[in-house]
Amino acid sequence: MTANEPPKFDPEYVATLREVLDIAVEQIAAEHRTPATKAMMAQIIVQNAARGVTDAHALVDDAVRAGSSGAP
Within 8 A by CB and 6+ apart from 48, the residues are 58, 59, 62
Secondary structure class of 2 (helix, strand, coil): coil
Tell me the pLDDT band of 72, cut-offs 50, 70 and 90: confident
- The per-residue pLDDT for 3 is 57
- pTM here is 0.87
Q: In this structure, are residues 49 and 31 in contact, taking their beta carbons and an 8 Å threshold?
A: no
- The per-residue pLDDT for 55 is 95
Q: In this structure, are residues 17 and 46 in contact, taking their beta carbons and an 8 Å threshold?
A: yes
Beta strands in the chain (DSSP E): none
Tell me the pLDDT band of 71, cut-offs 50, 70 and 90: confident
Q: pLDDT tens digits for 10-63?
A: 999 999 999 999 999 999 999 999 999 999 999 999 999 999 999 999 999 999
